[in-house]
Structure 1
Amino acid sequence: MELLIKSFLLWSLVLISGCNAAKEVTDEQQNRQQMTEQNTKDYSSEGFSKIIMVRLEESECPFVMVLEESKERLDPLNLDEGKFSELKNAEQEAWIKFRRLRRTSRCPNTSPVQLLEIKN
């Protein structure tokens, strides 16, 4: 009988300590996630869209922006203006505000846009 009680207490102790260890790991993961969210700002509430710049070799439009959420391809017509020229690094991510233009695109499968603002 005494052996049964000791076994029960031992297994209870193992189960309790195991639950606490899992809780600590979950807390650490949650803290890391909060730190990551603080480091990567989200400007979507301010009307910005996150894009990735893609360089197209041997094309009429040398750069195309790909919207992160919808994967839509945009043709920025005013990319050569001073404040937007920093976007010309391929595979760069940025937050932009843009206005769609009602005209034909220079590149296939893209929508022409005018850049309004940028946040890196």
Structure 2
Amino acid sequence: MARQMTEMLKGTLEGIVLALLAVQPAYGYEITARLRDQGFTQIAEGTVYALLVRIEQRGFVDVSKVPSEKGPPRKVYSLNTSGVDYLDDFWRTWSFLTERLEQLRQEGK
């Protein structure tokens, strides 16, 4: 199951992270911690940071630098209008897929 979970997460992690940011802005480590709190324990911190670079480049988030008690300022990511639109599309696609998969599962019983 672990390999299958990893493969499925590759396609959905962007939406999951954007959903977390829709609740509250956060910095990289904080996002990783929230993911782990949600049960996504196998996601590496480096994966999250690479994803944050991509969603920043795609214009889905606004980034502000906030002073840190330790080390350099933290980059805090917050969902912007483009990110909200993308997340809405993600949820519509997710609903479509889950409905069709449930249909197939029921037909297979």
TM superposition score category, shorter chain reference: under 0.3
Report the structure, 1 or 2, having the larger strand content. 1
Greater radius of gyration (CA): 1
Report the structure, 1 or 2, having the larger helix content. 2
TM-score (norm 2): 0.24
Q: Which has the higher contact order (CA 8 A, sep 6+)?
A: 2
TM-score (norm 1): 0.23
